[in-house]
Structure 1
């Protein structure tokens, strides 16, 4: 496979994804990142609680 073909396929897929994102509309497009951000911070909080819990290997260091 020629490298230019690979790049052309990536560009075609990016165009498709942009079209799909545009079809969602601004309200749905904005709600997804906020959900990802909240989920990310929740995972950070859970990780910190697990790491600082008494009796865990991470808390002993």
Structure 2
């Protein structure tokens, strides 16, 4: 991979992580009852909660589906 492409990808990922960290801090402040900064939509926090709950349910379902099957030994007479 060329150095300029690697640097561009790193820059994009860094900006994405900074945005996610800012959203996390704002959501944590909202949960703790601290007034959010100007321009922060409270509806987004509700949507984030729904998204996290949805993905948690998906993860739980996948764990249940992928559970190893325990086979019982049948005795033939």
TM-score by length of 2: 0.41
RMSD, matched Cα: 2.9
Q: Distance in 1 between matches of 2:50 and 2:66?
A: 24
Which of the two has greater helix per residue?
1
In structure 1, runs of 5+ residues without a counterpart are 1-13
Using structure 1 for the length normalisation, give the TM-score: 0.50
After TM superposition, which residue ranges in structure 1, 4 or more long, deviate above 4 angstroms? none
Cα shift readout 1:10-57 (whole Å, capped 9, x = no counterpart): xxxx8xx527x8243211111101000000000000000000xxxx3x
Give the number of the structure whose alpha-carbon radius of gyration is greater. Answer: 2
Question: Would you say how many aligned residue pairs link Structure 1 and Structure 2?
Answer: 40
**Structure 2 alignment gaps of length 5 or more:** 1-24, 72-77
Q: Does residue 60 of structure 1 match 2:70?
A: yes
Out of 19, 23, 29, the residue aligned to residue 18 of structure 1 is 29
